[in-house]
Structures are given as C-alpha cells and as structure tokens.
Amino acid sequence: MVCHSRGFTLLEMILVLVVAAMLAVVAVPNIQPAIASMQLRSATQDVASALRYTRGEALSRGRVAEFVLNVNQHFYKVPGRHKPYGLPPVVKVSLFTADFLMSEGQGSIIFYPDGSASGGRVTLDGAGKSWLVDVNWLTGAVVIREVTND
C-alpha cells in the first residue's frame, strides 16, 4: 500500500525561504528612495497646509497670525496650537523671508487680517528633489512647486 503524504518537504521549505530572501535583498534598496520621496512630499504638504491654516486664522480672527519655522530643529508652530509639529530629519529645510533676521535658525512668516502676508519661501530638499512652498506677500496665497535638481 502506498501512502501519499500531503505537505511540503524540508527541501521545498528551504527553497521557498531562499527565494524570499533573494527577493528581499533586491526589493529593500529600491524601496528606500521611494519612502524618502514620500516623506519629502508629505512634509511639503504639511508645511503648506500649516501656512494656509495660519492665513485662515488671521482672516477669521481679524488679527495678525504667525507661522514659525525652526530649520535647525526641524519643527514648525501654528497659532492657537502650543505643540510644535515635527518634520522628518531626512528632509533639509530652509526659510527665506522678508525679515532677514533669523534667531537660532528660527524665522516666521506673518499673515495679516486683510489676507496679505510678509511673504516668504520654505524650501524642502531630500531624495534628490526640492519642493518650494511660496507665500505671496500681496495676497497671502500659498503655492507649492517642485524643482528638479539637474
């Protein structure tokens, strides 16, 4: 009488593990740049959203509102919220504003009750890409642009 066993042999299991390990070795280095790129894009969207929120606060409350960015410690603050919002450490952040005085790597963009702003630009670099978040001084509009690093 012949007994047919249902299941896998040890050799088959080892072969499957070897193939899975080889796929992981190839896939992981290719995933890392994609993750860094997604972190950069997400951080850019977060900063733009915070700037728009700050403008909205100035308009709705009828008083000056300040967006504060610390480029050294990778965080920003918005009005009405006490906690700072962090940015990924792999993202390089720089700030250009009309106020050239930055104390300890910290600067701000001011929004006024009429919708205008002090103006400025937040630049986020990483993963071989750069994103600009521009704030128009006249209208206070926040615009995101991608810059190719060639």
Tokens for 143? Answer: 């615009």
pLDDT in tens, 16-58: 999 999 888 887 777 778 888 999 999 999 999 999 999 999 9
Q: Residue ranges per domain, the chain?
A: 11-148
Question: At a CB cut-off of 8 Å and minimum separation 6, what does 147 contact?
Answer: 129, 130, 131, 132
How is domain 11-148 classified at the architecture level of CATH? Answer: 3-Layer(bab) Sandwich (3.55)
If you average pLDDT over each of 1-5, 7-11, 77-81, 101-105, which comes out highest? 77-81
Whole-prediction pTM = 0.80
DSSP 8-state code for residue 6? P
